[in-house]
Chains A and B, each alone.
Chain A
């Protein structure tokens, strides 16, 4: 026999199964290579070129990357994106966890409330943005009508509500508010995690005299840190790529005073308005690197604060 005896022989059945398996996976593998791997690789190549979509790309080394770093518009969009991320992530986690904790009480009609808080994420982003634009209209919108009405009825004072999306200071917080409203999915995951918090730990803490708040901070929250960690990472990735809502709300212009011009919008502008594909690809790769580094930092820090049941706390 030609085959050395030491080499494990693949039985015809295994070979058959493997080939069959690959055949079934084939369309997916081809799709992954053609529609993911290939564009990603080409984007990397184009990021080193002067490329406008039709004419042959022209290799220019690191010029695109260098240009990004000294373009004040890109700088502004980075600042906006980081500010938004710093506000949106804690706000999202605290609200989603808070509502999940409230819903974790043994209340009647729990499925109803779960559905209620989950519903907003079923609204398409574009429709949602338009509705918010109307609701948060400073002068004629529902939100200021409610705020100003409450002030008038309860406190008897005439106040003017904030400028919301029209105001430089308020625009980003309004966008954070919009995304806090969309906490349905994380809330459901927190709820599942909360229901896994061992009752005996809570009972033991209660016996030791811990009040509701102490049990929350010392037992419940540490037990759900793996989920918080997961939400932090996915939230970070999502926030840094924020696009649809501010694009629709400002018509791609980033007003007021460019405070709503986010990194992904600037990238879109470079690619599809200015046709500077090379620059846009370079921006995309830098975004990828930023997400990678930030995710890595979160992973690195997770040793210190994420607690998986059964481990010793470090």
Chain B
């Protein structure tokens, strides 16, 4: 009897054998892969693998864990009699954090009244907001001031999360005429000031001159119209079997949102006369149809396979040579120079966005950050002084030190003075501040952002037609907006 039981049991030997065979198979294949990978496609990303940065195709950026240099350190402890301003920032490691440290230090040097207690509170993955800040404000124990993405200032202000700074702003002459207009408006709601703008960022078309040359295109003539961009994208796209080894252009990666192309195609996201959101504007529909045309032409599933590897820094598809052209922001000049292979650094240049049928000659979109004073801040005066200092007196310091474009107009004097010290490609972005569009300052800014992301996601995967999805989501955002109109 005993023998019969053991007979039909899975034996230890068999089990071990199976496990071993599997492990061996995996090891074998892994070795084979390394030895046999002669194609440049599997080489380039391999170099980009060992980083702490991870990203999905649509943009969650998980910043490297602080290792040798923490974000902001070495801020002096408060002296006797000083009032303490509690400040939340979201700078991880890097150049920006170092320059921001200097900004804070300069504030401390310039005044004797206030000390700053700095705390690193990262934003929630994939969003630009901090649910910790929501909880802190609701719980009645917020920091005195916080770094804050400007396009949602209105949303938070309309819901009562932020302190109205209009009186202080008027008293101290922090007024619209000193800032890029639409950038300033983002910091307001119904004529009241709720934040001090910190910086801005502008976007354009990066193109790889060598790739253009290799594809028989003139590297001195980047595309100037959407038709030329499409033609160049076709020529620059290379395939090896079923997979892409280089793509000319993927509209929706990096900074290629529907906002970008909506404005390029001459669309408007908000109609101030009728006070309605117009995500279904005919030209935005055209822009989305154009984005979808890439999904159809190059097969969205195959692009997705490829684009899953896209991220930031060394995983930026332009840095790793995965795309020959990319829609991206001005700050990348600094990033690219840091992460690109030396021989690639001189091989790229920047062009303004090509002109689309029905669109303006030149346009881009701008964003940027701000400093807010949450509702219930205990040291509100100190918070205002600090926020104002960062946005005005210390604005040039940040711009020059980090190559971020200022939203504070007097800071451009410092930029012009230092122009020769910058990578010449970066100043090309500066004039765009005159044509840049900023997201409409509405209390449903986040909803509208999510809606345009969602519309692009659904349309390019063929789940819904561009016009239909935009009509549906435009209505949904307008419904949400209706609550705030009264």
Which of the candidate stretches A4-12, A89-97, A248-256, A294-302 sits at the interface with the other chain? A248-256
A114 at the interface (CB under 8 A from B): no
Complex Cα distance, B480 from A177, in Å, reads 37
Which of the candidate stretches A78-86, A179-187, A272-280 sits at the interface with the other chain? A272-280
With contact pairs A142-B30, A165-B56 given, residues A252 and B124 touching in the complex (Cβ less than 8 Å): yes
With contact pairs A107-B12, A250-B56 given, residues A165 and B450 touching in the complex (Cβ less than 8 Å): no
Output the least CB separation between B285 and chain A (Å): 19
- Contact between chains at A167 and B304 (CB < 8 Å): yes
In the bound complex, residues from chain A placing their C-beta under 8 Å from that of B11 are 105
In the bound complex, residues from chain A placing their C-beta under 8 Å from that of B454 are 73, 253-254, 258
In the bound complex, residues from chain B placing their C-beta under 8 Å from that of A130 are 54, 62
| Residues of A237-286 whose CB lies within 8 A of B | 247-258, 269, 272-276
Complex Cα distance, B32 from A101, in Å, reads 34
Which of the candidate stretches B1-9, B187-195, B391-399 sits at the interface with the other chain? B1-9
Complex Cα distance, B10 from A102, in Å, reads 7
In the bound complex, residues from chain A placing their C-beta under 8 Å from that of B242 are 160
How would residues 58 to 80 of chain A score, 1 for a CB under 8 Å from any chain B CB and 0 otherwise?
00000000000001110000000
A145's partner among B29, B129, B476 (CB-CB below 8 A) is B29
| Residues of A20-71 whose CB lies within 8 A of B | 50, 52-55, 71
- Contact between chains at A72 and B60 (CB < 8 Å): no
Question: Which partner residue on chain A sits nearest B62 by CB separation?
Answer: A130
Which of B49, B137, B444, B457: most chain A CB closer than 10 A?
B457
Complex Cα distance, B56 from A247, in Å, reads 11
A133 at the interface (CB under 8 A from B): yes
B125 at the interface (CB under 8 A from A): yes
A155 at the interface (CB under 8 A from B): no
Question: Which partner residue on chain B sits nearest A149 by CB separation?
Answer: B29
In the bound complex, residues from chain A placing their C-beta under 8 Å from that of B308 are 133, 137-139, 163-166
With contact pairs A105-B9, A160-B305 given, residues A251 and B28 touching in the complex (Cβ less than 8 Å): no
With contact pairs A167-B304, A253-B453, A255-B56 given, residues A206 and B5 touching in the complex (Cβ less than 8 Å): yes
A304 at the interface (CB under 8 A from B): no
A17 at the interface (CB under 8 A from B): no
Complex Cα distance, B2 from A106, in Å, reads 14
- Contact between chains at B28 and A160 (CB < 8 Å): no
In the bound complex, residues from chain B placing their C-beta under 8 Å from that of A152 are 32
Q: What would 13 more interface pairs be, CB under 8 Å, given A251-B56, A272-B127? A: A52-B160, A54-B161, A101-B10, A108-B12, A142-B30, A160-B243, A165-B56, A212-B8, A250-B126, A251-B126, A253-B126, A253-B457, A258-B458
Question: Which partner residue on chain A sits nearest B12 by CB separation?
Answer: A107
Output the least CB separation between B238 and chain A (Å): 14
| Residues of A89-122 whose CB lies within 8 A of B | 101-102, 105-108
Output the least CB separation between A15 and chain B (Å): 39
- Contact between chains at A153 and B305 (CB < 8 Å): no
Output the least CB separation between A126 and chain B (Å): 8
In the bound complex, residues from chain A placing their C-beta under 8 Å from that of B446 are 273-274
Chain A to chain B contacts (Cβ below 8 Å), 17 pairs: A52-B159, A73-B476, A102-B15, A107-B12, A134-B49, A152-B32, A211-B8, A215-B8, A248-B125, A250-B60, A250-B126, A252-B60, A252-B125, A257-B463, A258-B463, A272-B129, A274-B480
- Contact between chains at A273 and B243 (CB < 8 Å): no
In the bound complex, residues from chain A placing their C-beta under 8 Å from that of B424 are none
* Total chain A interface residues with beta-carbon distance under 8 A: 61
In the bound complex, residues from chain A placing their C-beta under 8 Å from that of B8 are 211-212, 215
Complex Cα distance, B28 from A55, in Å, reads 62
In the bound complex, residues from chain A placing their C-beta under 8 Å from that of B127 are 251-252, 272-273
Output the least CB separation between A172 and chain B (Å): 14
Complex Cα distance, B119 from A196, in Å, reads 54
Output the least CB separation between B40 and chain A (Å): 12
With contact pairs A53-B161, A137-B309, A166-B57 given, residues A256 and B453 touching in the complex (Cβ less than 8 Å): no
Which of B15, B42, B56, B138: most chain A CB closer than 10 A?
B56
With contact pairs A158-B241, A250-B58 given, residues A256 and B304 touching in the complex (Cβ less than 8 Å): yes
A202 at the interface (CB under 8 A from B): yes
- Contact between chains at A153 and B160 (CB < 8 Å): no
- Contact between chains at B138 and A206 (CB < 8 Å): no
In the bound complex, residues from chain A placing their C-beta under 8 Å from that of B270 are none
Complex Cα distance, B243 from A146, in Å, reads 17
In the bound complex, residues from chain B placing their C-beta under 8 Å from that of A273 are 127, 129, 446-447, 450
Complex Cα distance, B10 from A212, in Å, reads 9
With contact pairs A106-B12, A140-B309 given, residues A275 and B1 touching in the complex (Cβ less than 8 Å): no
Complex Cα distance, B171 from A139, in Å, reads 58
A201 at the interface (CB under 8 A from B): no
A168 at the interface (CB under 8 A from B): yes
Question: Which partner residue on chain A sits nearest B5 by CB separation?
Answer: A206
- Contact between chains at A269 and B450 (CB < 8 Å): yes
B485 at the interface (CB under 8 A from A): no
| Residues of B294-332 whose CB lies within 8 A of A | 301, 304-309
Complex Cα distance, B25 from A253, in Å, reads 36
Complex Cα distance, B60 from A251, in Å, reads 4
B59 at the interface (CB under 8 A from A): yes
In the bound complex, residues from chain B placing their C-beta under 8 Å from that of A249 are 56, 60
Complex Cα distance, B304 from A138, in Å, reads 9
In the bound complex, residues from chain B placing their C-beta under 8 Å from that of A149 are 29-30, 32-33
In the bound complex, residues from chain B placing their C-beta under 8 Å from that of A145 are 29-30, 33
- Contact between chains at B243 and A139 (CB < 8 Å): yes
Output the least CB separation between B227 and chain A (Å): 28
- Contact between chains at A153 and B32 (CB < 8 Å): yes
In the bound complex, residues from chain B placing their C-beta under 8 Å from that of A275 are 134, 155, 159
B131 at the interface (CB under 8 A from A): yes
Output the least CB separation between A89 and chain B (Å): 25
Question: Which partner residue on chain A sits nearest B127 by CB separation?
Answer: A252
In the bound complex, residues from chain B placing their C-beta under 8 Å from that of A168 are 301, 461
| Residues of B127-161 whose CB lies within 8 A of A | 127, 129, 131, 134, 137-138, 155, 159-161
A1 at the interface (CB under 8 A from B): no
In the bound complex, residues from chain A placing their C-beta under 8 Å from that of B427 are none
- Contact between chains at A167 and B301 (CB < 8 Å): yes
Question: Which partner residue on chain B sits nearest A248 by CB separation?
Answer: B125
With contact pairs A146-B26, A203-B5, A255-B57 given, residues A138 and B305 touching in the complex (Cβ less than 8 Å): yes
- Contact between chains at A139 and B5 (CB < 8 Å): no
B59's partner among A107, A166, A251 (CB-CB below 8 A) is A251
Output the least CB separation between A99 and chain B (Å): 10
Which of A53, A207, A273: most chain B CB closer than 10 A?
A273
In the bound complex, residues from chain A placing their C-beta under 8 Å from that of B301 are 163, 167-168
- Contact between chains at B54 and A133 (CB < 8 Å): yes
How would residues 241 to 273 of chain B score, 1 for a CB under 8 Å from any chain A CB and 0 otherwise?
111000000000000000000000000000000
Which of B61, B161, B444: most chain A CB closer than 10 A?
B161
In the bound complex, residues from chain A placing their C-beta under 8 Å from that of B457 are 253-258
- Contact between chains at A150 and B1 (CB < 8 Å): no
In the bound complex, residues from chain A placing their C-beta under 8 Å from that of B461 are 168, 256-257
B483 at the interface (CB under 8 A from A): yes
Complex Cα distance, B480 from A146, in Å, reads 48
